[in-house]
Every structure is written in C-alpha cells, then in structure tokens.
Structure 1
Amino acid sequence: MWLVILLVVFASALAVPSLVLFVETLAALNPYRDLLRTGPPSSAGTVAIVIPAHNESVGVLPTLSDLRPQLQEGDRLLVVADNCTDDTAEVAAHAGAETLVRNDLSKIGKGYALAHAIAHLRDAPPEFVLFVDADCRVQDDVVPRLKQMSARTKRPVQACFLMVAPSKAAVDHRVAEFFWLIRNWVRPLGLAGLGFPVQLMGTGMIFPWHVILKAPLAHGNLVEDLKLGLDLAADGHAPAFYPFVVGTSEFPMTKKGTDSQRQRWIQGHISVIAGLIPKYLLRALLTCNAGLLALTLDALVLPFSLFLPLLALSLVASLAFLLLGFTTPAIISAANILIVALALVLSWLKFGREVLPAREVGSAAASLIKRLTFYGRLYFGRKASSWIRTDRSEKD
C-alpha cells in the first residue's frame, strides 16, 4: 500500500509542472496585453555590454561584430576573459573591445565573471548593464531597444533568446530546437500575457545599474540565470519580457557537446529545485509576491529531456499497479501525459511548424522515444562542470 501512496505522491508532484506548462501555453496563444513596441529606438542612457568568455577566441568575434555598431556615445563593450587557456583576451582587444582577464581556478563559473565585470564598472558606472554570451548572435537593434524598454519599465528586461539547429542537422537537433522554442518563447510569452515576469535566459538581459549592482552574482551555480531571476523577483525587481528583439546561438554539432550541454542544464535546474525552490516559494507566500510565486512555479517545469522520462516512468509504474486494482495513480499519470501532450501539440501548431515540419514529426517522435531513457540518465551521471566551453566542432 505504501508503494501506491508513493506513486500517487510522485504523479501528483508531476501534475504541478504539467499544469503550469499547459496554462502558460494556453496564455501564449493569444496576444499578450502589456508588451507594446516602444517605437523607434532612441538613446535612453549609457550601457556597458558585458560578454563573459571562457576560451571563446573564435566565437566571440561574430558577437562583437554584431554589437559594436550599436554602441552610442558613452557606451562600453567589455569582454571578461575568464580562466582562459587560449587567446580570447587578445582577440577581443584586437577587435576593439575593452578586456578584463580573470584567473582564479578556485572560483569557476559564469557568475564570477559577471561579478568581476560589475566590480570593474563601479568606478565609472553606466546607467544600464547588458549581458550577452560570447557565442550569441543578435539582431541590429537589440541594444537601443533593450535600453529603451528597461528605462520605460525601470526593471530588468529579457530579450528572446533561442537556440537553433545547425545547418544539415539531424532530426534530434530540430526536436531540441522546438523544445527550446517552448522554453524561451512560448512559456515567457504566456507568462507575460498573464501579467507576470519571466525567467532570465543567461544572455540578452539588461539591468538598470542600481539593480545589478546589488544582485548576488558571485557563485558557480550551473544555471546562474535562473537563480538570478528568482533572486531579483524576491527583491522586487522581477524581469520583464521583450520578445521583439531576438538573440540566437547554435546547438553543438557533436554528440559530446550536446550531451555535456544538456547535462549542465539538467543538473543545474535540479539543484535549484532541490535547494532553493522551497525557500523562494515560502518567501513568495509570506510576502504576497505574485511575481516570485509565478517564477517559482515556472521553475518547477523541468527540462524536457528529464521531464518527459519522468512522466513516462510515472505512467508505466501506474499501469503496473492498475493491474492490481489501484486506479488513482494511473488516472493522475494519464492526465499528466494528456495535458503535456496537448501543450506540445498547441505549441507546435502555433509556433513550431517551421522549426519541425509536419513531414518530420513522425521521425522526431521515434527519435525522442528512443532517447528517453538516455536523457533520464543524464542527471545521474558524473557531475557537470560549472563552466566549460561547449564543444561546437564539426565532428565527434
């Protein structure tokens, strides 16, 4: 009997992120109400663009070429070469960026690089700070539009950041691109439409100086963006979503790069849920902070590469007990599968048909089912590195 109770608890726990995903998807289907274009870009104050880079001597050049033409008088373009073993600092300096070199192997993580940049900017602080990853391509009006939006809302602002499949990529990559589209486009769109803040995405995020100055950045958390967004929401500076500007990065081509990247996301997300979500949830309830509550619930939606195997495991175990006459676990598990599947179908119909054409849906589903057990093992493997350069070479 206690096994049945545990299974009911497990299935019920999965029902929370399943419902959150479904509600966010439904909300994204209609135009959201309070994210209007702000008109032509205009100067809204000085900005320091900070690019944290770890062994990115090749990837940083296209990013710098996208950003440099968008600088206005008084703006700064700063690359933090963090624990690099290549010539990232020299390449960035030659390309016209201000460079900082940080070498401290006792403190490894993107958060430490960001904190180092903020400490450097204290002597001549800008009005805004924009973080952009070293391998991220951005459109030509990202900087002025984000400055304008942050000035208007007086809040941190997150642009839309998407991962895209490389050219000639296998169907696995297009499935991953579709799931990323849900994570960073559909769900934030739904949250914004409901009047809630959104999670930070690690790149394309701008902050008023007084907000980022006090933010807790110096840590090695694997998902520093997720933690930062929750911390800011707890302090009354919840991020807004501005989907009219887009940044993109490519998924790794190699299996090694893809697996290590996915492992970091899963392990980091799980660590936040296990160690921090109860604290954020309690604070949201005690302070009646609706924005923090929304982001806390949103954070419970695991990466699909772990979420889907857990849903499948719950259903299979429930069906086994159904043969013994216990129906409750099966009902809850089947309902979870149904609403998640419906959310995926609605997302694909509205947003994903260009990413994953109808002719490839069948092979994509077969590939996904084949890899479910592998995805489920990723978290339980060896601990992921806190910050490594993603392998984007052409061959395994």
Structure 2
Amino acid sequence: MTLLVILVSGAAAILAIPALIFFVECFGSLFLPAGKPVARPGGVSVVVLVPAHDEKDGIQPTIAGVQSQLAVGDRVLVVADNCTDDTAELARVSGAEVLERSDPERRGKGYALAFGIDHLEAHHPDVLIIVDADCHLTPGSIDALVQRTVQTQRPVQADYVFHATERAPVSMISALATLVRNRVRPRGLRRLGQPCHLTGTGMAFPWSVLRAAPELGANIVEDLAMGIELALLGHEPVLCIEAGVRSELPTGGHAAMQQRRRWEHGHISTILQHGPRLVREGIRRGRPGLIALGADLIVPPLALLVGQLVLVLGISGLLILFGGPTFPAWIAGAALALVGLGVALGWTCYGRKTIPFWYLLLAPLYVAWKIPLYGSFLFGRREQQWLRTER
C-alpha cells in the first residue's frame, strides 16, 4: 500500500508540471496584441519551396495562392518526390519550377526538402519559405514572413491552423486540439518573450541559418526536429502571427488516425529524446529560450495528458476508499482543472467561432479514440516512416 501511494503521488506530481506549463502558455496567449499588416523589405530574394508527393488534386491551388503574393524575381520551386501521379506536370503548367525526385528507398519530406535545398545552393535566395502542397496562405503571409525573417535572422513560423471539413465529434475536437497546440500555446510563448517550435509548413529561414540545419531524412516529425536542432545551434524559431497557413484535417477514420499516429508517435519520441536535453542545455548555457522550448516540448499531446491525469485521479480515488491519503487526488485533480481551464481559455479566445461549445463536452470520446494510438506506441508498434495522409 505504501509503495502504491508513493508511485501514485509521484505520478501526480510529475504530471502536474506539464499541466502547469500548458496553463501558463494558454493564459499568456490572452494578452498578445493582434497582428498588424507589415511591409516587406526591399532587395530580398525569396524562394518558396513546396515538397509534394502525389498531390495532383491540391498542387495547383497551392501554387496559385503562393504566386499571388510573390514579388518580382521571387520563385516557386516544387519538389515532386516519388510521385506516381501528375503532380509534376500540373505544377509546371501552373508556372512553378519543378524538380522530380525518384528514390523509393529514401522516402519522406525531409529527403524532399534536402533535395530542393541542395538544388538552390548555387543561386540561393536570401529567404527560403517552406509551404506544404496541401496548404494555402492567408493574404499578406509571404510579406510578413520575409519581414520577420530579415528582422530577426532566425527561423520563423506562421500561424498554422487546421479546419475540420466534417462535423463529426472526433474531427471537431481534433481541430480544437490542433488549434491549442499550433495557435494558442505558441502565442502564449511569444507573449512571454520566448521562441516556439516549428510546425511543418509556413516556415521561413534566412539562407545562412537553413544551411546550418542537419539533414533529417525520414524523420517523421522533421519540422519539430529541425527547429530543435537549429535552436541548439543558437537559432531559436519565432512566431509570426501576421502570417497564416490553413489546411484541412483528414476526413475518414483511417486517414485521421494515420496522421495522428505519425505525428504523435514522433512527438512522444521527440519528447523523450529532446525535452530534458533542451532544458539541461538551456540551464548550462544560460539561455532561457532553450529552457522554454524544452518546457513546451515536455507537454504531452493533449489527449494523452488528460488520459494520464484521469487515470491517476481514478487510482487516487480508489486509494482513498481503502484509507489512503487524499493529496494525490488533490494534485491530479488540480492539474486536470488547469488543463481544462487552459483549453477553455483557448477556445473562448480563438475557437468559439468555428467550434460550437457542445463539442467540448464530447472530449472524453476523443481521448478514448486516441487510446489505441498510444497503446501501439507503448507496445512497440510505432510509426517510424513517412506516409502521405489522404484527405
């Protein structure tokens, strides 16, 4: 009994740390002023790099959206990576420069990015912007990204939001979870004067900084890993709220679970590998930005954090029934309340126009939907390769 109490108390205390970090980030986002249109500095050469794998249905609208924001002399470079459809030809017809890459043994967005970057080496731009082939930019995004990149000489991340195309509860709660992860928490970090993690698209880099990044190959969360490695080299990414990228959540149970499995398996692996490392290096080097990135990284995916807290709270309740102490339940309950309050604040400020309140009441279904995903990670069936997500 004593050992069980110690274990449960320790679990509650450990989980309270990411819960508190989560709440502080969400609370901080409330006080970030709205972005304002910015003017792009002159004399800056820009290339927009679009990695694409079998994106014939979406590549032309993406290119058209990018081209509408380009200045004279800017370029769009599409890397058609191991494509089996007409992606390359459609991109050419749309006016983009196209590279075709065929290497079935080396598949993944990281390889496609490295291929495009190597191609640009001889005549490289001042700023490189990466946009996924299934995304579209909000007006003024390229100007804002270029301005922020030139100003800071650091990697820059645009505001990246997914929209649910169907009103199923799982899709809507998933949209809320990604909204909190990609918009609310990074805004909180910016309000606190801290860097943010890269989220995969709408990323801009000074060329000199980009060339310092290691090749990531088949890393299934290549964006997150790139930002971490650059931060450790002294180039912490910053958020640009004036630039926005929009994408659709995958429809259908299998496609949605495929995307979530890929991201969250990679995210959990990255937490274990890099979270403590970032905090340790930040303390050793006296760099608060690294500590902030490490603290943000150790926050598990929202459903996993909630599920863990509910489990600890349930076990704590059973201990109380058998005469155990109440403090583990108080700690777990308080941590769960902080997470719930953080989500509520984020929804109130950023999500209530697109996600009706009653969907929040169905959050337990979302947590239950994710249980097999976390079980597959725990028991060794981990996602370890890049797969295109059907939409």
Say whether the fold is shared (TM-score over 0.5): yes
**Contact persistence 1:136–1:248 (CA under 8 A):** yes
1:210-243 deviation per Cα after TM superposition (whole angstroms, max 9, x unaligned): 0001111333221111111111221111111111
1:314 paired residue among 298, 303, 312: 312
- Residue identity matched to 1:348: W
Whole-Å Cα distance in 2 between the matches of residues 85 and 380 of structure 1? 34
1:257–1:30 distance in 2 versus 1, CA, 3 Å: same
1:106 alignment counterpart: 105
Whole-Å Cα distance in 2 between the matches of residues 305 and 81 of structure 1? 34
Which has the higher mean CA deviation after the structures are superposed, 375-384 or 344-353? 375-384
1:87 alignment counterpart: 86
- Residue identity matched to 2:296: D
- Residue identity matched to 1:17: P
1:9-32 deviation per Cα after TM superposition (whole angstroms, max 9, x unaligned): 222221121011100111111135
Which has the higher mean CA deviation after the structures are superposed, 46-55 or 87-96? 87-96
1:141 alignment counterpart: 140
Report how far residue 200 of structure 1 moved: 0.7
1:185 paired residue among 183, 186, 190: 183
1:261 alignment counterpart: 259
Map 1:27-46 → 2, pairs under 5 A: 27-32=28-33, 37=36, 39-43=38-42, 45-46=44-45
Whole-Å Cα distance in 2 between the matches of residues 150 and 196 of structure 1? 16
Which has the higher mean CA deviation after the structures are superposed, 7-16 or 156-165? 7-16
Whole-Å Cα distance in 2 between the matches of residues 8 and 65 of structure 1? 55
1:299 alignment counterpart: 297
1:327–1:157 distance in 2 versus 1, CA, 3 Å: same
Which has the higher mean CA deviation after the structures are superposed, 325-334 or 378-387? 378-387
1:158–1:55 distance in 2 versus 1, CA, 3 Å: same
- Residue identity matched to 1:249: S
Report how far residue 198 of structure 1 moved: 0.9
Secondary structure in 1 matching 2:68: helix
Which has the higher mean CA deviation after the structures are superposed, 119-128 or 312-321? 312-321
1:159 alignment counterpart: 158
Report how far residue 277 of structure 1 moved: 2.2
1:250-272 deviation per Cα after TM superposition (whole angstroms, max 9, x unaligned): 01111110000011111000110
Whole-Å Cα distance in 2 between the matches of residues 279 and 359 of structure 1? 40
1:281-336 deviation per Cα after TM superposition (whole angstroms, max 9, x unaligned): 22111111111110111011122232222222221122222223133322221121
When normalised by structure 2's length, the TM-score is: 0.93
**Contact persistence 1:160–1:245 (CA under 8 A):** yes
- Structure 1: gaps of 5 or more residues: none
Secondary structure in 1 matching 2:310: helix
Whole-Å Cα distance in 2 between the matches of residues 305 and 330 of structure 1? 19
- Residue identity matched to 1:327: T
Map 1:1-396 → 2, pairs under 5 A: 1-32=2-33, 37=36, 39-43=38-42, 45-166=44-165, 168-324=166-322, 325-362=324-361, 364-365=362-363, 367-368=365-366, 370-371=368-369, 373-374=371-372, 376-377=374-375, 379-380=377-378, 382-384=381-383, 386-392=385-391
**Contact persistence 1:159–1:246 (CA under 8 A):** yes
**Contact persistence 2:154–2:205 (CA under 8 A):** yes
Whole-Å Cα distance in 2 between the matches of residues 18 and 361 of structure 1? 18
Which has the higher mean CA deviation after the structures are superposed, 248-257 or 383-392? 383-392
- Residue identity matched to 1:11: A
**Contact persistence 2:216–2:226 (CA under 8 A):** no
Report how far residue 179 of structure 1 moved: 1.4
Which has the higher mean CA deviation after the structures are superposed, 214-223 or 128-137? 214-223
Secondary structure in 2 matching 1:276: helix
Whole-Å Cα distance in 2 between the matches of residues 335 and 271 of structure 1? 27
1:214–1:304 distance in 2 versus 1, CA, 3 Å: same
1:123-178 deviation per Cα after TM superposition (whole angstroms, max 9, x unaligned): 10100000001100112321122111211222211110101001x43122111111
Whole-Å Cα distance in 2 between the matches of residues 342 and 44 of structure 1? 46
Secondary structure in 1 matching 2:122: coil
Percent identity reads 39
Whole-Å Cα distance in 2 between the matches of residues 209 and 351 of structure 1? 33
1:216–1:351 distance in 2 versus 1, CA, 3 Å: same
- Structure 2: gaps of 5 or more residues: none
Report how far residue 5 of structure 1 moved: 2.3
1:374–1:128 distance in 2 versus 1, CA, 3 Å: same
